[in-house]
């Protein structure tokens, strides 16, 4: 389960609308205790996928990931997950998402249909399969 404020979720959705028709992406910081994730804030990351691919793929490069991990360590917090959008597609993980995902993290996906927010869902990877994760508001 991931706990998130309504304002933080709106920030993620706003980012998805702004980046449309490309995928947006970012990192979710917070605290994890007993498999419960509490989202505190996010950091928008530039989609590093090459031109012509960023409309249906996202990539957080190694340098951005390393900086984010160091920042979290310095602040005594955790990276609890990642977010990205699916332009003109459902908020369901793709095969690409599954192959590149890691267990324990939350993966929030926002659907953007014709430039407007659709559904937002969260998933966790268990036994190499995505399971929908409950989003609850703080």
Residue 3 pLDDT > 70, yes or no?
yes
* Nearest Cα to Cα of residue 107 among 15, 18, 11, 12: 12
Domain that holds residue 69: 2-137
- Are residues 110 and 122 in contact, defined by beta-carbon separation less than 8 angstroms? no
pLDDT tens sequence across 32-82: 998 899 999 999 998 887 677 767 788 899 999 999 999 999 999 999 999
pLDDT band of residue 25 (cuts 50, 70, 90) is very high
Give residue 54's pLDDT.
64
Give residue 48's pLDDT.
80
Count the domains in the chain.
Answer: 1
53 or 29, which is more confident: 29
Q: What is the CATH number of the domain that holds 26?
A: 3.40.140.10
Give residue 89's pLDDT.
96
Residue 111 pLDDT > 70, yes or no?
yes
Instruction: Give the Cα separation of 78 and 71 in Å (integer).
Output: 9
pLDDT tens sequence across 118-138: 999 999 999 999 999 999 998
Give residue 31's pLDDT.
97
> Which residues share a beta bridge with 130?
125
* Nearest Cα to Cα of residue 85 among 61, 51, 137, 49: 49
Residue 106 pLDDT > 80, yes or no?
yes
């Amino acid at each position: 389960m991931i706990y998130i404020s309504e304002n933080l979720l709106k920030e993620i959705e706003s980012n998805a609308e702004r980046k449309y028709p490309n995928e947006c992406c970012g990192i979710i910081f917070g605290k994890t205790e007993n498999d419960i994730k509490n989202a505190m804030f996010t950091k928008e990351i530039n989609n590093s996928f090459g031109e012509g691919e960023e409309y249906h793929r996202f990539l957080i490069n190694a340098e951005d990931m390393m900086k984010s991990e160091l920042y979290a360590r310095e602040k005594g917090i955790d990276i609890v997950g990642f977010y990205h959008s699916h332009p003109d597609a459902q908020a369901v993980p793709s095969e690409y998402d599954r192959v590149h995902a890691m267990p324990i993290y939350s993966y929030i996906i926002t659907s953007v249909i014709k430039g407007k927010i659709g559904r937002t869902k969260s998933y966790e990877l268990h036994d190499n399969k995505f399971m929908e994760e409950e989003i609850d508001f703080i």
